[in-house]
Amino acid sequence: MADSIPLRYGINPHQQPASAAAIGEWPFEVLNGQPGYINLLDAMSAWNLVRELRETLGQPAGASYKHVSPAGAAIGLPLSERLARAYEVEQLDLSPVATAYVRARGGDLVSAYGDFAAVSDTVDASLARFLRREVSDGIIAPGYEPEALDILAKKKGGRYLVLQADPTQELPAVETRDHYGIRLEQPVDRKPVDESSFKNAVTELTGFPEEVRRDLLVATIALRYTQSNSVCLAADGQVIGLGAGQQSRIHCSRLACGKADRWMLQQHDRVLGLEFDPSLKRPDRFAGREQFIAWQELSQPERDRLQSQVTNWSGPLTDNERREGISAFRTVLSHDAFMPFRDNVDRAQASAVTHILQPGGSIADEDTIAACNEYGIAMTMTGQRLFRH
């Protein structure tokens, strides 16, 4: 590749011309399409996220990125029958790498619309066929099978962005950022997030079973690549709720838990049983199910429109149905910085959270610990903050 490449435009279309230059060797090769400014920000963050998940957990990993934060991230565990129905992939033959991305995208099906995809392993035809039907701007991966590349190169009329990452290239030791006439410099954040994170349990319950540790690692690694403040819930090897970029930590928790609630309730019998007007496209069905779950938050025009789209309408979920649906799950939660007040725990327990990981260090740590003990939640403090701006 050349020393620099032209971009379609900067962050906004009026910011032209725009370009990208490599600090050393290019960490990727453009196989198809022309990148934009935000595409590259998403691509590089997403690639490093899936690479770290792969290195840490030893399984294919996927990420779905929007506006420099993950809409979802996951490892390639098999899908349950209910989850496959919720994601509308029950008729597809998915490879492990395809499953990793399907899970990542499924963590927030509405936010993932128009995402940038990333996977840790070679893209095969199974994943390419899935991406062909989805609204997505591009993908970054360490390699592509010939059939997969042929499929992707035809997407969006030949404009779909395909980047091939160099898996042998290490991150530079130092990163810089120019901002309104000043240059900031710092070491790249590579402090490991690993099993040592569970050695400092501070609650009466101290057990962190293998699946819990796995899910907390998925959530915490995702936070490293998320705009702060951020809170992440995970279950079944994938992110299920991420609250990013809020000034107040409780608002991060409410966002993350609200998304996690919707992920859990997507698998409720009544939600899976919704029948939509046949003219609705898949993204509209996903949005319709989310609106059905979030009925209490909808305006009257939104309620009227949803009712007109559902052909077997029988009323929204009751409070009892919501509680029972959520109580069938067990989730974990990770914070990128300390929890300043117990209200974060109060909100978390309502979303089936059983284990929490956070750096600790607040003057209110004892209140937070007491809240966890009250709800029977195990919590560990790592001392490692994961801010990203």
Q: Which residues are catalytic?
A: 66-67, 229, 389
Query: Closest by alpha carbon to 72, among 53, 91, 95?
Result: 53
- How far apart, in whole angstroms, are the C-alpha atoms of residue 245 and residue 258? 15
Q: If 0-12 CB within 10 Å is exposed, 13-18 middle and 19+ buried, where does residue 92 land? A: middle
264 is written with which tokens? 């859990």
d(CA 325, CA 9): 45
- Token pair, residue 239, equals 């992110």
Nearest CA-CA partner of 28 in 51, 47, 52: 47
Cα 147 off chain centre by: 27
The answer to whether residues 96 and 59 touch, using CB atoms and an 8 Å cutoff, is yes
CB 321 within 8 A of CB 265: no
3-state secondary structure of 331: strand
Give the whole-angstrom CA distance, residue 204 versus residue 372. Answer: 9
Helices 249-265 and 282-293, axial angle in degrees (round to 10)? 110
Identify the residue whose tokens are 């907390």. 216
Distance CA 236, CA 214 (A): 9
Stated as kind and residue range, the H or E segment containing 55 is: helix 37-57
Q: What are phi and psi of 90, to 5 degrees?
A: -65, -20
Cβ of 177: how many Cβ atoms within 10 Å? Answer: 10
All residues at 6 or more sequence positions from 141 whose CB lies less than 8 Å from its CB, including other chains: 118, 119, 120, 121, 122, 123, 163, 164, 165
User: Taking every pair of C-alpha atoms in the chain, what is the biggest distance, in angstroms?
Assistant: 61
